[in-house]
Amino acid sequence: MGSTSQDPRYTPTELLACVASGFLEDGCSVFVGTGLPLIATMLAQRTHAPGLLIFFEAGSFGPQLKALPISVGDSRTLHRAISASSMHDLMSISQAGFVDYGFLGGAQMDSRGNINTTVIGDHALPKARLPGSGGANDVASFAHRTLIIMRQSERSFVGKLDFLTTPGHLDGPGGRQRAGLPVGDGPYRVVTQLAVYDFDEGTKRLRLHSLHPGVDVAAVQKNSGFSILVPERVAVSPAPTAEQLRLLREVIDPAGIVIGK
């Protein structure tokens, strides 16, 4: 049995947000979706990355996020923004290569970082219909690097996607280039409630990067529908600080819309 003991000072969702926020560098640009990616981005902007340049697909460019938007089209995405523009302009900026990070979630992900947010089951007669791509396909296609944040289980880490919504490394090394996508790193880090992952350079397969506190390798493998590469030495992810938790609970999401209560 794998160990996933949880520190009572924080929830798995709070840990997800805090660890993911650490990958956003001050002065970089990020195209962000709603939910967990947005929570992590807001936390980064309030801590180590005050110069983070945020894009929302509905047209907001460079806001200082005061309150949690409920969608990428929420008027709160425009607070102190550089520009209230359009989806066309923001996607054009992305296509031109000016986005450092695309920050996305997903319902399913395979071993090469390809994402499904369209359907569960057969496309013609699905068990469940999901929100679809939105701008995720465009963002992952054109951003220099993609950060993925999602909850990990055998149902979400799958050997084969029910539908390919958003490209990761596609079929492996050189897959993105063969598909005509711009040269970039593609999926860079995957953050779940159990661990952080990167991708092996030779195979483009998911590889364990760091374990979260209290989690072991057996738990990581148990909660995946495919085998995850494990290096000889694995680091431990940093635990949330008291200040990070205060910001999440009191400033960013006091109603518990994303992080819960």
Q: What is the pLDDT of residues 95-111, one digit of tens each?
A: 888 999 999 999 999 99
Both tokens assigned to 107: 């319902």
Residue 5 has pLDDT above 70, yes or no: no
> Is the backbone of residue 225 left (phi > 0), alpha (psi -120 to 50) or beta?
alpha
Residue 82: CB atoms within 10 A of its CB come to 12
pTM assigned to the model = 0.92
Question: Three-state DSSP class for 141?
Answer: helix
Give residue 1's pLDDT.
Answer: 55
List the chain domain ranges: 12-252
Q: What is the pLDDT of residues 168-211, one digit of tens each?
A: 999 999 999 999 998 678 999 999 999 999 999 999 999 999 99
Is there a catalytic annotation at residue 243? Answer: no
The dihedral sign for the CA sequence 38, 143, 196, 161? positive
Q: Is 172 buried (19+), middle (13-18) or exposed (0-12) by CB count in 10 A?
A: middle
Give residue 182's pLDDT.
Answer: 82
What DSSP line would sit under 5-24, residue for residue? Answer: ---TTS-HHHHHHHHHHTTS
What is the average per-residue pLDDT within 6-25?
A: 91
Tabulate helix, strand, coil % of the chain (nearest 5).
25, 20, 55
For residues 86 and 58, give the distance between their C-alpha atoms in angstroms, rounded to a whole number: 6
For residues 84 and 105, give the distance between their C-alpha atoms in angstroms, rounded to a whole number: 24
Q: Is 232 buried (19+), middle (13-18) or exposed (0-12) by CB count in 10 A?
A: exposed
> Is the backbone of residue 153 left (phi > 0), alpha (psi -120 to 50) or beta?
beta
**Residue 17 — φ and ψ, nearest 5°?**
-65, -45
119-121 and 83-84 strand pairing: unpaired
CB contact set of 124 (below 8 Å; sequence gap of 6+): none
195-199 and 206-211 strand pairing: antiparallel
Residue 6 has pLDDT above 80, yes or no: no
Contact 156, 150 (CB under 8 A): yes
Residue 3 has pLDDT above 70, yes or no: no
Both tokens assigned to 124: 């013609």
Residue 23 has pLDDT above 70, yes or no: yes
Q: What is the pLDDT of residues 140-159, one digit of tens each?
A: 999 999 999 999 999 999 99
- pLDDT band of residue 4 (cuts 50, 70, 90) is low
Cα torsion 48, 16, 134, 185 to 10°: value is 70
Which CATH fold would you assign to the domain 12-252? Glutaconate Coenzyme A-transferase (3.40.1080)
Catalytic residue among 14, 25, 57, 250: 57
